[in-house]
Structure 1
Amino acid sequence: MTELAAGRPGPRKPRELRDVDEFLDQVRLRPGMWVRRSSLQHLDSMLVGYAVASEIHGSDESFDFWNSGPFSQWLWKRMNMTYPSNLGWAVEIERAAEAAGTPPMEMFFSLLDEFRAERGRTRSAQEG
């Protein structure tokens, strides 16, 4: 496997990926290749397709990116929203990115890193 200077894995073929986290790491490397117009709404659609295909093929993989799933619930708290958005995480991140003058894909991956870090800390605290 090719390693990038920053220590992140390099580009891999889809058949080499084990889960949605590895898929998202590949999207991060080359978002323009994977996501039309770098739209988070398109990414959301891809992820839903991923989840549906996983269920059809009997995968036991947990999926955090449903609009009412763990990532969304975390995001609502992170964005200080008192109610879940019916528009979904992709639209809300795109809105926040526009307001902040940040590319939406960049904001998504920054938030994803925070979510992963907190999820990892929570798991460690429960295991320890």
Structure 2
Amino acid sequence: MRRANGPRQLTELTDVYDFLDEVRLRPGMWLPRSSLKHLESLLTGYRAAMVVHGVEGEFDFWSPGTQGPFTEWLWHRLGRESPLSWATEIEREAEATGVPAIELLFRLFDEYRADRDRAS
């Protein structure tokens, strides 16, 4: 849970959701030009570090050999499959709807998490 007074230190974060809360809070610090491609690269590195260091846990964005649950949910939500990444598809959708890509990402991710929590 984010402190009411703002950003946290990296050492205070416990999982990828905490990290994404920090990105949401200050996207300009983490993502040049608010590019979802940069976020996708960060998250791929995050997952790779988990694998290298033997850290078990769910990861919604990508795992070796699979696109990940968020991508599968996104294809269903958008009503189409794509060979492109979740970042590319959200950027395309954002451009088509006139919504900033980072805003659309977090709107969709919140919806995904709510759907996932209801299914649990």
Same fold (TM over 0.5): yes
Deviation digits for residues 14-61 of structure 1 (CA, Å, limit 9, x no counterpart): 111110011001100000001111000110000000000111111112
Equivalent of residue 14 in structure 1, options 5, 10, 16: 10
Deviation digits for residues 1-20 of structure 1 (CA, Å, limit 9, x no counterpart): 7315xxxxx31111111100
- Identity of matched residues, %: 55
Structure 1 residues not aligned, in runs of 5+: 5-9, 124-128
- Paired amino acid for 2:114: A
Paired residues, number = 116
**For residues 17 and 91 of structure 1, what CA distance do their matches in structure 2 show?**
27
Deviation digits for residues 61-86 of structure 1 (CA, Å, limit 9, x no counterpart): 211101611000000000010x3x22
Which residue of the partner structure matches residue 39 of structure 1? Answer: 35
Equivalent of residue 100 in structure 2, options 99, 103, 128: 103
**For residues 87 and 39 of structure 1, what CA distance do their matches in structure 2 show?**
15
TM-score (norm 1): 0.86
- Paired amino acid for 2:3: T
**For residues 11 and 53 of structure 2, what CA distance do their matches in structure 1 show?**
14
**For residues 68 and 57 of structure 1, what CA distance do their matches in structure 2 show?**
21
Which residue of the partner structure matches residue 121 of structure 1? Answer: 118
Structure 2 residues not aligned, in runs of 5+: none
* Structure 1 outlier segments of 4+, above 3 Å: none
TM-score (norm 2): 0.92
Indicate if the aligned counterparts of 1:32 and 1:38 stay in contact, CA closer than 8 A: yes
1:21-60 aligned within 5 A: 21-60=17-56
**For residues 62 and 113 of structure 1, what CA distance do their matches in structure 2 show?**
17
RMSD, aligned CA: 1.3
**For residues 68 and 48 of structure 1, what CA distance do their matches in structure 2 show?**
11
- Paired amino acid for 2:75: W
